[in-house]
Amino acid sequence: MEEFLAGRFDVAVIGAGHAGIEAALACARLGLETVCFTINLDAGGNMPCNPAIGGTGKGHLVRELDALGGEMARAADKACIQYRLLNRGKGPAVQSLRAQADRREYQKIMKHTLESQEHLTLRQAEVVALRQTDGHISQVVLRTGAVFDVRAAVVATGTYLHGRTIIGACTEESGPDGMHAATALTQSLVDMGLDLRRFKTGTPPRVNARSIDFSQMEIQPGDDDPLPFSFTTTQPPMNRAACYLTYTTPETHKIILDNLDRSPIYSGVIEGIGPRYCPSIETKIVRFKDKPRHQLFVEPMGLDTEEMYIQGFSSSMPEEVQVQMLHSVPGLTHAQIMRPAYAIEYDCVNPLELKPTLETKKVEGLYGAGQFNGSSGYEEAAVQGFVAGVNAALKLTNQPPMILKRSESYIGTLVDDLVTKGTNEPYRIMTSRSEYRLVLRQDNADERLCPIGHRIGLVSEERLQQVEEKYAAVAREIERLTHTGIPGSESLNRLLTDRGSTAVTDGCRLIDLLKRPQIGYRDLRSFDDHCAAMDTAIAEQVEITVKYDGYIRRQMKQVADFEKLESHALPPDLDYSALAGLRLEAREKLNEIKPLNLGQASRISGVSPADIAALMIWLEKA
């Protein structure tokens, strides 16, 4: 193919999935001339695995991305059709928002957002090669022969990179939903010295709602008081759809086990490593043989389609086996498959190849994001795209990088886990991955991260002032509750005894009432006019701060201890093999990862406390 110079850009983003969208928007909004390439313009922001945004831990990521100035939360609030706050009965640290999205509406919104963005060019094209000059990314080459000069590039290829879909014995080179794969780019990345690996994920079957008997399933309505994802959404979202719950049966399990030899997972056809926390249905049946049934969630793809996802039923079984499996499930006895389930294998990079900025260590100006970095999930992809895009823009404008710490965000936890510990399977965020989850709640993401978003230029001065005023109002209200008392009364004692709490005789302070586990801020409204008029978001922060004060203080002490280690910077060019007192394994791992500081060094597998002590001694001498 004859090549020709087609243009020059500051940044090229390869892929327009959830990672590519955020990377491209971040770069363009920071003033960099940006081009975003996608194999198919109609596939941008696609949701092949499930039509939902958020979930446990994932809802935290979406809220944090919104606080930093990202786009996913705003688009979700325009496109989502049912909202549920997960773990509502548990503490605020593990509560996460999840919403069903109208899949095509979400894609339409994101496509138009990209099209309308200044400094951003959107192009349908397959990138077949990346080129470097003197160790720095310099060109992007398209299959048509078009060549673009660039100063930075973000690889956000999702599951397209050398993608292969598998349904039983039927395998073909393909991206998700029948899109063609990016088959040539892998070699270019290998030639640059990047360590690539093979991962896989799965999708569930989609069936026609006309063929489902919903009367045999449990309905799952949305919340009565749905919360939006974006802190900037002023109108409460509406629930416009319902989901349903059903279960596998012993017959389902028997069909799977009888056909296990036809499963590509167990026959050796699938080579890639799949996700631990979202396995195929055949893996669930094999791994949990004693479990009599497994949950299946029936979720609508949108408001103007009859397609329903059978979530929890991802599989790579032959299509005729999938039909038998589905027909053994209550409510799906006559289900008509519109799209069979399939597994998809794809190439991705070893994330230990990346710096905390998500720039590759071997090629300057080349960044990775999303599933290319070894993660799974739309939300994980989106936040990495944002981090990569922001850091590419900051580097090109000679500004300090944005490196979020574990102690200030789930995004920081995710990136640190990937680039410090690596992963041998598709990585998924969970609340249990954060040591500081009580202070990293989804409800206070604006307080934690809007100042950072403002500093990098993606959060306006007006929005920052609104956040500052919100938390100043929280502090004022806590102070008022501390100095405001109410007299004992029959109605107050009735409330207390009905809630299983001790009655009062001479009255009490409002803050002491709120500290009681059985009493919420909303209960105070009947006894105090100021509480009755309080903004809901401020009231929520007041209640959490008061009730969890002791625990939050304890965790803030842990954060302070963590940041002491993080403050001890390590030279990026330090040769650890020459340092006395380090074990051989520690020297190898430290030279491979090149940690930024003692804190990151302490989290590297194979680096012991004794090795950290030796590093501290070296730092003191140095």
CATH of residue 611's domain is: 1.10.150.570
Claim to verify: residue 585 and residue 469 sit in the same structural domain: no
Please indicate, yes or no, whether residues 513 and 579 belong to a single structural domain of this protein.
no
536 in the same domain as 470: yes
Q: Is residue 227 part of a domain?
A: yes
Whether residue 325 is found in the same domain as residue 240:
yes
Report the C-alpha gap between 264 and 235 in whole angstroms.
Answer: 47
Whether residues 588 and 471 fall in one domain: no
Spatial distance between the Cα atoms of 262 and 268, rounded to a whole number of angstroms? 10
- Let me know if residue 434 belongs to a domain: no
Domain total for the chain?
A: 3
Report the CATH number that the domain containing residue 270 is assigned in CATH.
2.40.30.260
What per-residue confidence (pLDDT) applies to 311? Answer: 96
Domain range for 309 is: 206-343
* Domain termination site, one of 526, 552, 578: 552
How many CB atoms within 10 Å of residue 532? 11
525, 552, 579 - which closes a domain: 552
Same-domain status, 252 and 313:
yes
The DSSP secondary-structure symbol of 438 reads T
- Which pLDDT does position 1 carry in this prediction? 72
Same domain membership, residue 325 and residue 214: yes
Is 236 part of any domain? yes
Q: What are phi and psi of 239, to 5 degrees?
A: -90, 120
**Single-letter code of the amino acid located at 25:** L
Q: State the alpha helices, DSSP H only, in 370-503.
A: 378-396, 410-416, 445-456, 461-482, 490-498
Q: Is residue 445 part of a domain?
A: no
Tokens representing 366 are 């080349």
The answer to whether position 70 is within a domain reads no
CA dist 490 and 77 (Å) reads 44
Residue type, 361: K
The verdict on residue 243 lying in a domain is yes
- What is the phi/psi pair of residue 254, to 5°? -65, -40
- What are the tokens at 458? 């993606």
518 & 579 share domain:
no
DSSP bridge pairs for 11: 34, 152
**E strand or H helix at 171:** strand 170-173
Token pair of 57 as six digits: 């831990």
The Cα–Cα gap between 573 and 329 comes to 59
499 and 593, same structural domain?
no
DSSP H or E segment with residue 116? helix 103-116
How far is Cα 467 from Cα 530, in angstroms, rounded to an integer? 21
CATH number at residue 514: 1.10.10.1800
Q: Let me know whether 223 and 301 are in one domain.
A: yes
Sheet of 80-86: strands edge to edge? 52-54, 96-101, 80-86
Instruction: Enumerate residue ranges in the chain where pLDDT < 50.
Output: none
Long-range contacts of 538-544 (CB under 8 A, 24+ apart): 538/470, 538/473, 538/474, 538/477, 539/477, 540/443, 541/443, 541/444, 541/470, 541/471, 541/474, 542/474, 542/477, 542/478, 542/481, 542/514, 543/514, 544/92, 544/441, 544/443, 544/444
Cα separations (Å) of 523 from 511, 528, 529? 12, 10, 12
Domain boundary among 311, 343, 375: 343
The beta-carbon contacts of 546-551 under 8 Å, at least 24 apart in sequence, are 546/478, 546/481, 546/511, 546/514, 546/515, 547/514, 547/515, 547/517, 548/91, 548/92, 548/438, 551/438
User: If you write DSSP's letter for every residue of 481-517 in order, what string do you get?
Assistant: HHT-EE---HHHHHHHHHTT----SS-EEHHHHHHST
Residue 516 lies in a domain: yes
Strand partners of residue 427: 375
**DSSP state for residue 478 in the 8-state scheme:** H
